[in-house]
Chain A
Amino acid sequence: MSLVIRAPARTAAPRRRNVKLGRVILRYVFLIAVLIFAVFPFLWTLAIALTDKTAGGSIYNFPASLFPRAVTLHNFADVYRTFSLGKYIWNSVSITGMTIIGTLLISALAAYPLARFRFPGKGIIFAVIIATLVLPGETTFIVNTLTLKNMGLLGTHLGVVLPTVAAAFGIFLMRQAFLSIPQALLEASRLDGAGELTILTRIMLPLSVPSLAALGIFTLVGTWNAYFWPMLALSGAPDAVPLSVAVLKLKGQFNYDPFNIAAGSIIMMIPVLLVFLAAQRLFMRGMEGAVK
């Protein structure tokens, strides 16, 4: 059927081709308009970060502030020094690192029996994990701060990390990966006398590296960018906050320097941007949303 209707489309009249060309141009006009909307704030921030502030001039001097004439990297060094940015970068690295390791570990461990074993209560546990996706979480942050306070973990990185590492998304992602590994491989190694932990670490995990990497990358981006929860859990420990919280604090200061803030923002953006550009395909598959 498709053959029949495709044939005449090829022999379109020249006038029709013009209309088609017009359509393509129109499409690009829309696409570029949306592009400007999407990336303009970044480009302006980058321009501000690169501007030599010693030359005088305001970030609001248009259109000059969009096209800096005197370019410098001085703002980056300045914000790093005056705001002890290194400390906050370390906090971000610590929280993100712990969250990634915790998420991978807990997801892989929980996914293994769900993918490979038969045991009583499996259905219920499955349902319970799915339920976390739809349960209302409006009051969770209140109770979790109280719980962490009682555990003596409020204001620590571990306190930020613990409530976030066990999540349905990671468990299902890893379960899917484990299910795709041929059962015969496992039977063979069981016959060879391998224990379950050996099978998990020597066979399952090495064969699931792509899924582990995907989970790690999603976790990295989500944790590095997270604002509300770390802000709340670390509200009593201003020296322990990650970059995402620190950047806003910097902006809230009375006599702030917009050039430094722009530089700090770019510094915070770079790791995520690099990871995103390197792993674009992963994000474009829409996997994250399919499970969320």
Chain B
Amino acid sequence: MARSQPPGTQPPTASAPRSRYSLRDTLLSYAFLAPALILLTLFTFYPLAYGSYLGFTEYGGARFAQGLGPRWTGLENFRTLAADPLFLTALGNSVKYLVIVPVLQLASLSVAVLVNKNLPGMAFFRAAYYIPVVTSISLAAVMWDWVYNKEGTLNWALGVVRIIPEGSFFGWLNNEQTAFWAVMLVTFWRGFGYYMVLYLAGLQGIPAELEEAAVLDGASSWKRFWSITVPLMKPTILLCSLLSTIAALRVLEEVLVLTNGGPLNSTYTALMYVYSKAFQGFNFDYGLASAAGLVVAVVALLLSVANFRLFRESDGGES
């Protein structure tokens, strides 16, 4: 059986299909590729396969200490998860974290539009907005912890403008009503510069004539934003929303460094559950943690598909 070649991709040659590859090139290629392939197999593909398998087993804790391997338990872990109120809270919080996606994307696109103008200082603003992106989450935790402190700048500033009376200051990360949103604001802070840059790249592709024509037609900048910029930026918005959705669902670091899931589990997210079951405390329940990880992966997949659908539909409706 000859190797099938899609018609038209290559001019037909007289040589037999087998001689298309030289043995020397093939051996060299695999030698060059070997380090990357070995590491990817060991640290990316194997964990995916083995981690999925672990989700259906009992592993860790006592078994681990006795040197016993994983024991197949079928769907037992998933039943445990479904009955665990902490996991349901965690999953709920991760889904609730998706609130950030439209807010972050709209803000990033707006900021990109603001700095995408030939005026003095724009390069400076862009660079300054990007600094939080290249800031470690641990430094963000140090700095925002001071801002959110009971005596911190946020309370002080709100006190100055009389939104919060001086006597009723509180720690934003210690309050179960505010901690979730305070953590989310740090994600927002570290993210908007990143998406701004992606949107700026997209904005360069919008022809200036279109914008100018709309100005002459008397369209307000608000209207221009919604009827020119947003529709033309749809591919970029889709990409960014997708990245942002998956990142929001997988949020872990911010929670870990700012609140460790508290207070009263109000910031306890799904990956926090995975991490916590596997590594915090003394259980080391790798089986249950892997099962929880699988659930998050499936939800992420479903949301990515939904994201695509949503955009395709709204695209068909308008244009």
Q: Which residues of A contact B (CB under 8 A)?
A: 1-2, 5-6, 8-9, 23-24, 27-28, 30-31, 34-35, 37-42, 44-45, 48, 58-60, 62, 105-107, 109-110, 112-114, 117-120, 122, 125, 128-129, 132, 135-147, 162-163, 165-166, 171, 196, 221, 224-228, 232, 235, 244-245, 247-248, 251, 258, 261-262, 265, 268-269, 272-273, 276-277, 280, 283-286, 289-290, 292
Contacts and interface: CB of A to CB of B under 8 A. Distances in A.
Contacts of B177: none
Most interface-central of A109, A142, A265, A286 (chain B CB within 10 A): A142
B138 A129 contact: no
A147 B50 CA distance: 11
Contacts of A277: 127
Interface string B272-288: 00110011000000100
Contact of B149 (A23, A42, A60, A284): A60
Contact of B212 (A5, A30, A228, A258): A5
Nearest to A61: B151
A287 to B, nearest CB: 9
A109 B136 contact: no
Interface string B144-159: 1111010111001000
A136 B21 CA distance: 34
Nearest to A136: B297
B228 interface: no
Nearest to A289: B198
Nearest to B122: A31
Interface in B133-147: 133-147
Contact of B216 (A9, A44, A120, A232): A9
B130 interface: yes
Contacts of A290: 198, 201
Interface residues of B, number: 96
A258 B146 contact: yes
Given A109-B35, A138-B293, A146 B138 contact: no
A125 B209 contact: no
Given A23-B221, A30-B114, A144-B43, A139 B32 contact: no
B84 interface: no
B300 interface: yes
Given A110-B35, A143-B50, 13 more contacts: A1-B209, A8-B216, A9-B216, A37-B189, A44-B153, A106-B36, A109-B35, A122-B29, A125-B33, A137-B48, A139-B54, A163-B42, A269-B135
Contact of A118 (B20, B48, B156, B209): B20
17 contacts: A8-B216, A9-B216, A27-B119, A40-B147, A106-B36, A109-B32, A110-B32, A113-B32, A135-B48, A143-B47, A166-B43, A166-B44, A261-B142, A265-B139, A283-B133, A286-B200, A289-B195
B25 interface: yes
A138 B221 CA distance: 42
A24 B139 CA distance: 34
A248 B257 contact: yes
Contacts of A139: 47-48, 51-52, 54-55, 274, 289-290, 293-294, 297
Contacts of A125: 33, 37
B183 interface: no
Contact of A41 (B47, B143, B195, B201): B143
A60 B146 CA distance: 8
Nearest to B298: A136
B28 interface: yes
Given A5-B212, A228-B252, A284-B127, A136 B39 contact: no
A284 B115 contact: no
B119 A107 contact: no
A51 to B, nearest CB: 13
A246 B20 CA distance: 55
Contact of A143 (B46, B126, B213, B215): B46
Nearest to B143: A41
B206 interface: no
Contact of A62 (B156, B271, B297): B156
A135 B49 CA distance: 11
Contacts of A268: 136, 139
Nearest to B117: A27
B290 A120 contact: no
Contacts of B194: 289
Interface string B8-29: 0000000000001100011011
Given A136-B300, A140-B44, A42 B29 contact: no
B32 A112 contact: yes
Given A110-B33, A112-B32, A139-B274, A284 B138 contact: no
